[in-house]
């Protein structure tokens, strides 16, 4: 049984967990927590069940019980596919990690891939691909790109917007299911799996593939799933040919210093912090645009679009 499997493997425990979910959906989080705790008495090693219990306890106002359930989740699933360490940080029971667990991000998007385009574009008014492509257009005019590397390509939403200007378009993502959806669109010349939280030598973007191969590197709606951006900037710097462009977006941390973990379990970065990273990597800032990048729980999420250039 996979650690993230919704079923506990015990019919009675599963029924109690289902009833707990119904109670939670009706607003009775305390009742849901009590019923979920009964289910876990039958299957004490069910990591997914403990994570669900933590959610119910948190929403019923029992912070200490939520923290205890999250710590049990981590003990049972040390790879942290649920992002329990992120939740603990938000509850004040741990430091925010500089990077989320790769297994958590991979599972998140593997589960999301089938409905990704519809959910983001139609329901959340997601607009980063269009706005980032427009920013590039305004700065470069009708310039064609010899080689574009789309980091965190997902299902190919940005790739669709840049395909007509790219002689060669490659996309990389952590999620195999996202890559499968992108492949189905037949817009990329090459697709591969890569982890931006790792070092350039380990991330999967080099090896047999050349360095300094791209005259445009994009990261549309990707960096909010990283805290520290050092690895991502190092990778972009290795990918970029002299004179190449790096186009990317972040969630706007406003006046916060550096980066901050938000309740959405995404990271926000300040403009000053990102600008300092650009300077540290020798990238000149060509354009910056503040904009709404999506809706979340009915509220607009502020973001910042960047276009930076590597010295020729």
Question: Per-residue b/e over 154-184, b at no fewer than 16 CB within 10 Å?
Answer: bbbbbbbbbbebbeebbbbbbbebbbebbee
pLDDT at 120 over 80: no
* The two three-digit tokens of residue 281, written as one number: 């990597």
Q: How confident is the model at residue 170 (pLDDT cuts 50, 70, 90)?
A: very high
- 11-95 is classed CATH 1.25.40.10: yes
DSSP letter for each residue of 169-216:
EEEEES-HHHHHHHHHHT--SEEEE--TTS-TTTSSS-TTSPSS-EEE
State how far the Cα of 25 lies from the Cα of 2, in Å rounded to an integer. Answer: 25
- Same topology for domains 11-95 and 110-310, yes or no? no
CATH number for the domain whose boundaries are 110-310: 3.40.50.150
Q: How confident is the model at residue 308 (pLDDT cuts 50, 70, 90)?
A: very high
* The two three-digit tokens of residue 158, written as one number: 């940005």
State how far the Cα of 198 lies from the Cα of 43, in Å rounded to an integer. Answer: 35
Range 44-68 average pLDDT:
97
Range 215-227 average pLDDT:
96
pLDDT at 280: 97
137-156 pLDDT per residue, tens: 999 988 899 999 999 999 99
Q: How confident is the model at residue 26 (pLDDT cuts 50, 70, 90)?
A: very high
pTM of this prediction?
0.91
Domain residue limits, the chain: 11-95, 110-310
State how far the Cα of 104 lies from the Cα of 278, in Å rounded to an integer. Answer: 28
């Amino acid at each position: 049984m996979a650690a993230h499997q919704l079923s506990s493997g015990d019919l009675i425990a599963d029924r109690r967990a289902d009833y707990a979910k119904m109670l939670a959906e009706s607003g009775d989080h305390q009742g849901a927590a009590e019923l979920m705790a009964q289910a876990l008495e039958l299957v004490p090693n069910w990591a997914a069940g403990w994570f669900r219990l933590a959610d119910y306890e948190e929403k019923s106002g029992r912070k200490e019980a939520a923290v205890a359930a999250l710590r049990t989740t981590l003990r049972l699933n040390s790879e942290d596919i649920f992002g329990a360490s992120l939740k603990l940080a938000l509850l004040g029971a741990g430091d925010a990690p500089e990077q989320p667990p790769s297994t958590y991000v991979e599972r998140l998007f593997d589960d999301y891939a089938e409905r990704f385009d519809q959910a983001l574009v139609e329901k959340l008014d997601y607009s980063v691909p269009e706005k980032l492509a427009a920013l590039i257009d305004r700065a470069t005019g009708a310039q064609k790109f010899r080689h574009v590397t789309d980091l965190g390509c997902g299902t190919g939403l940005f790739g669709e917007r840049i395909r007509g200007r790219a002689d060669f378009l490659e996309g990389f993502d952590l999620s195999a299911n996202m890559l499968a959806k992108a492949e189905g669109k037949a817009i990329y010349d090459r697709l591969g799996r890569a982890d931006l939280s790792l070092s350039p030598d380990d991330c999967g973007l080099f090896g047999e593939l050349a360095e300094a191969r791209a005259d445009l590197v994009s990261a549309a709606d990707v960096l909010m799933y990283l805290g520290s951006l050092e690895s991502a900037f190092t990778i972009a710097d290795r990918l970029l040919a002299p004179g190449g462009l790096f186009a990317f977006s972040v969630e706007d941390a406003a006046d916060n210093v550096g980066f901050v973990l938000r309740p959405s379990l995404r990271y926000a970065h300040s403009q000053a912090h990102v600008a300092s990273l650009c300077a540290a990597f020798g990238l000149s800032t060509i354009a910056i645009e503040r904009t709404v990048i999506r809706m979340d729980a009915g509220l607009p999420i502020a973001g910042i679009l960047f276009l930076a250039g590597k010295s020729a």
